[in-house]
Structure 1
Amino acid sequence: MSYRRLKGISARTWMSALVRMRLRQGASAAGLASDAVSDAVRGSDPVNGYQVLEQVVQLPVSTWRYRWDPPHVRHLGPMAQDWWKAFGVGENDRTICCTDANGVAIVAIQALHRELTELRNEVAALRARSSPAPHPRDPGAAAPQ
């Protein structure tokens, strides 16, 4: 582990791949970064975005604070136990990994985008089918005499 006085803490571990995390001075979990590169992972499996989206919709989300937080501090998110039950990703049912939370959010957004695109296409097709047939006579033309 290395410590830089003005830049925060940087921890690196070597296993079969590099796992690196950085927490900058004054940063919270938003300042945490982890490597997620293709040569550092194994067992990459596709994900059903619609299923993940349904799990997100069912996931209880609340505001809360840690026991050690001052009363004015609030956080927003699911409980780790509910997260684990819904997605089964991460290390355990006590923590939510930022990488997993980002992945779930991205997959759910992709599923919503696909649904929105499908609905737009369906609406366009329905509008095209239901639009009135053009009148045989141009309304701007003079009436026959």
Structure 2
Amino acid sequence: MKEHVARAWMQALVRMRPRQGASAAGLASDAVSGAVHGSDPVNGYQVLEQVVQLPVSTWRYHWDPPHVRHLGPMAQDWWKAFGVGENDRTICCTDANGVAVVAIQALHRELTELRNEVAALRAQSPPAHHPSGPGAADPG
């Protein structure tokens, strides 16, 4: 069974033209300006929230040997969360990369905002002093 699937996959890759994204390393995205239409902005915070809620598990395909495990969401959950790609049976690597990049960007913005807030709070606070109440160490 495994050899049959691998052979069918290789035959499909051989039939692909380079513009469709076949490469020695696997599949690649041809998403470049001018080659796509309908490019819309994305709310990174909403995508990040969907990523946080996305069920992730380890699993193996029926044809994998017992020692092989994969890590990731199920395609049906992915489709429900993001609604991108062709169907609810596969997760396109372009979409997975896009979701990851957008979520990282949202986390970076959030981290930057928190760092700025902490810096502002520190600037407003008097310098920290040592405790002098009950239980404090005697300085002398």
Taking structure 1 as the reference length, the TM-score comes to 0.75
1:45-96 C-alpha deviation (Å, 9 max, x unpaired):
0000000000000000001000000001111100000000000000010010
- Per the alignment, residue 108 of structure 2 pairs with 113
Higher strand share: 1
Alignment of 1:59-78 (within 5 A): 59-78=54-73
Q: Number of aligned residue pairs: give it.
A: 116
- Per the alignment, residue 3 of structure 2 pairs with none
Instruction: Provide the rounded CA distance (Å) in 1 between the counterparts of 2:14 and 2:115.
Output: 48
1:85-127 C-alpha deviation (Å, 9 max, x unpaired):
0000000100100000000000000000000000000000000
Instruction: Provide the rounded CA distance (Å) in 1 between the counterparts of 2:111 and 2:58.
Output: 29
Q: Pick from 80, 83, 88: which aligns with 1:85?
A: 80
Structure 2: segments with no counterpart, 5+ residues: 1-12, 129-140
After the TM superposition, which parts of structure 1 deviate over 6 Å for at least 4 consecutive aligned residues?
Answer: none
Instruction: Provide the rounded CA distance (Å) in 1 between the counterparts of 2:50 and 2:74.
Output: 14
Instruction: Provide the rounded CA distance (Å) in 1 between the counterparts of 2:126 and 2:27.
Output: 54
1:11 aligns with 2:6: no
- Per the alignment, residue 46 of structure 1 pairs with 41
Instruction: Provide the rounded CA distance (Å) in 1 between the counterparts of 2:108 and 2:29.
Output: 27
Secondary structure class of the residue paired with 1:103 = helix
Instruction: Provide the rounded CA distance (Å) in 1 between the counterparts of 2:51 and 2:118.
Output: 26
Instruction: Provide the rounded CA distance (Å) in 2 between the counterparts of 1:62 and 1:122.
Output: 35
Instruction: Provide the rounded CA distance (Å) in 2 between the counterparts of 1:10 and 1:101.
Output: 24
CA contact (8 A) 1:10 1:23 kept: no
Secondary structure class of the residue paired with 1:96 = coil
Larger Rg: 1
Identity, % of aligned pairs? Answer: 85
Higher relative contact order (CA 8 A, sep 6+): 2
Instruction: Provide the rounded CA distance (Å) in 2 between the counterparts of 1:38 and 1:131.
Output: 52
Structure 1: segments with no counterpart, 5+ residues: 1-7, 14-18, 134-145
Taking structure 2 as the reference length, the TM-score comes to 0.77
- Look up the equivalent residue of 1:67 and give its one-letter code: H
Higher helix share: 2
